[in-house]
Amino acid sequence: MTTFATTHSTGSGASTARPKRIFNFSAGPACMPEEVLAQLQEDIWSVRGSGIGIMEHSHRGPVYDRIIEEAEADCRAVAGIGDTHHVLFLQGGATLQFAMLPLNFLHPGKSADYADTGVWATKAFKEAKLFGKVNVVYDGSKTKYDHTPAPSEATPTDGACYFHYCSNNTIYGTRWPSPPKTKSPLVCDASSEMFGRPYDFAGHAMIYAGAQKNLGPSGVVLVLLRKDFLETQRKDLPLATMLDYRKQAENGSRLNTPNTFGIHVMGLVFKWILKNGGLKAIEQRNAEKAKVLYDAIDGSGGFFKGHSTPECRSHMNVVFRCPSEELDKKFLKEAEALGMDGLKGHRDAGGLRASIYNAFPRKGCEALAQFMSEFKRSFG
Ligand SMILES: Cc1ncc(COP(=O)(O)O)c(C=O)c1O
């Protein structure tokens, strides 16, 4: 059998004379664009010709001013948003957003809508319940989170402070084909597919994403926050400074020392997206990569079973299983021996999961599909 461990260089020269890399199907932190990694190696030593490495620069100095300003401008260019939104680079990961959102926007005597489409969406509404009234307008647990709701399955509440949903469910491998339609402000956790496809970014009151899948390293979270939504912020609470979106916006995400390295990496990733044709081109490549794997599942005569219904299939996390747990284990072991890592499904969903974010190479999907077909031939 072929061993797939490879340098799989993007052609940037990143892999010359370096230890070889394997295919990393991790759900996050996940594989990064090799061009970005190569640039970072230089920037850690000296960034932008300054003679000082990126981690050693003051977050208030002129070099870093340019880095963060450019990251914000490139982010706006990728998302196609203008002055209607704040672009924030915050800390505490996506999980802190689960709390910051209701703290800032869930008013006493009112409620917020949440669609429960799986583990992360569940965590989000449970956190919100600590701070106010929550309506779970869709409960996907009844169908083992195998799809996201059709419009008839989730009825938004009139007058809700906001409607929260998770656009791509990392653990179950489902996504919303398009954003839900609501009268209340729309808030999206896009952690596992941010900038993986064009989206109505401007139409959302808030979109947030932990960086560690499509944008950069863990520990920094991107928040696109519409200014008119920020106007609806609660004024009756003494909010901790760091948890106050207004103060974060007024201080350009530099209330305290931000994750300077993480923001720099995000900036490089935004440039990489723009250089590679923007979100339309990225979406096309992601769709092709995902098709390679879904075709392998669908063409296996029922040996492999996908978790998601076809219309909600994620292009980022392909979740599937073998006919038995025994075979899942064997599959993982053999895949690892061939240089394919990170294929174990999340403990809540079981089975197998191939995470194939923006930076994951198509060659890796082809290698996995080939292995799937060989495995089925041996054990089917
Ligand atoms: C959809 C989604 N939301 C939120 C999170 C939590 O992110 P963090 O670890 O940055 O808090 C994750 C992590 O995997 C995720 O996949």
Q: Which residues are catalytic?
A: 120, 189, 213
Q: Is the CB of 192 under 6 A from ligand 1?
A: yes
Residues 105 and 67 in one domain: yes
Q: Is residue 61 part of a domain?
A: yes
Whether 113 is covered by a domain: the verdict is yes
Asked if 231 and 319 sit in the same domain, the reply is no
Q: What is the CATH number of the domain that holds 54?
A: 3.40.640.10
Regions of the chain with pLDDT less than 70: 1-16
Q: Closest Cα to residue 87, out of 185, 211, 207, 194?
A: 207
Q: Let me know if residue 138 belongs to a domain.
A: yes
Ligand 1 lined by 193 (C-beta under 6 Å): no
Same domain, 82 and 197: yes
- Selection from 7, 23, 5 nearest residue 15 by Cα: 7
The CB of 94 under 6 Å from ligand 1? The reply is: yes
Whole-number pLDDT of residue 6: 47
- If you search the block for the tokens 């929550």, which residue do you land on? 134
Distance 348 CA to ligand 1 centre (A): 14
Question: Ligand 1: which residue has its CA nearest to atom 7?
Answer: 94
* Ligand 1 neighbourhood includes 210 CB (under 6 angstroms): yes
- Let me know if residue 30 belongs to a domain: no
Atom number of ligand 1 nearest to Cα 97: 11
Q: Which of 218, 243, 275 is where one domain is finished?
A: 275
Give residue 143's domain range: 44-275
Indicate the residue among 227, 256, 275 that finishes a domain: 275
Beta strands in the chain (DSSP E): 23-24, 85-90, 111-116, 133-139, 163-166, 168-169, 174-175, 186-189, 206-210, 221-226, 305-306, 317-321, 340-341, 352-355
The predicted structure's pLDDT at residue 321 = 98
Residues 291, 252 share a domain: no
210: CA distance to ligand 1 center in Å? 6
Q: Assess if residue 243 is contained within a domain.
A: yes
**Which among 225, 115, 224, 216 is positioned nearest to 174, based on CA atoms?**
115
pLDDT for residue 7: 46
Does 213 map to a domain?
Answer: yes
- Is 25 a member of any domain? no
Q: Total domain count for the chain?
A: 2
For residue 323, cis peptide bond before it (omega within 30 degrees of 0): no
Locate the ligand 1 atom nearest the alpha carbon of residue 169 and give its number.
1
CB distance 224 to ligand 1 below 6 Å: no
3-state secondary structure of 238: coil
How many angstroms separate the alpha carbon of residue 113 from the centre of ligand 1? 19
What is d(CA 98, CA 274) in angstroms, rounded to the nearest whole number?
Answer: 29
Query: Is residue 288 domain-shared with residue 264, that is, in the same domain?
Result: no
Q: What is the pLDDT of residue 18?
A: 82
Whether residue 242 contacts residue 200, with contact meaning beta carbons closer than 8 Å, is answered with no
User: What is this structure's pTM?
Assistant: 0.96
Does residue 203 share a domain with residue 88? yes
CATH of the domain at 355: 3.90.1150.10
SS3 247: helix
Is there a single domain that holds both residue 232 and residue 102?
Answer: yes
Residue 55 and residue 176 in one domain: yes
Mark whether 207 and 301 lie in a shared domain: no
Residues 232 and 310 in one domain: no
Residues 181 and 288 in one domain: no
Does 9 reside within a domain? no
Q: Which of 248, 275, 302 is the last residue of a domain?
A: 275
Please indicate whether residue 28, judged by its CB atom, sits closer than 6 Å to ligand 1: yes
Q: Are residues 155 and 124 in the same domain?
A: yes
Classify residue 65 as exposed, middle or buried by CB count within 10 Å of its CB (0-12, 13-18, 19+).
middle
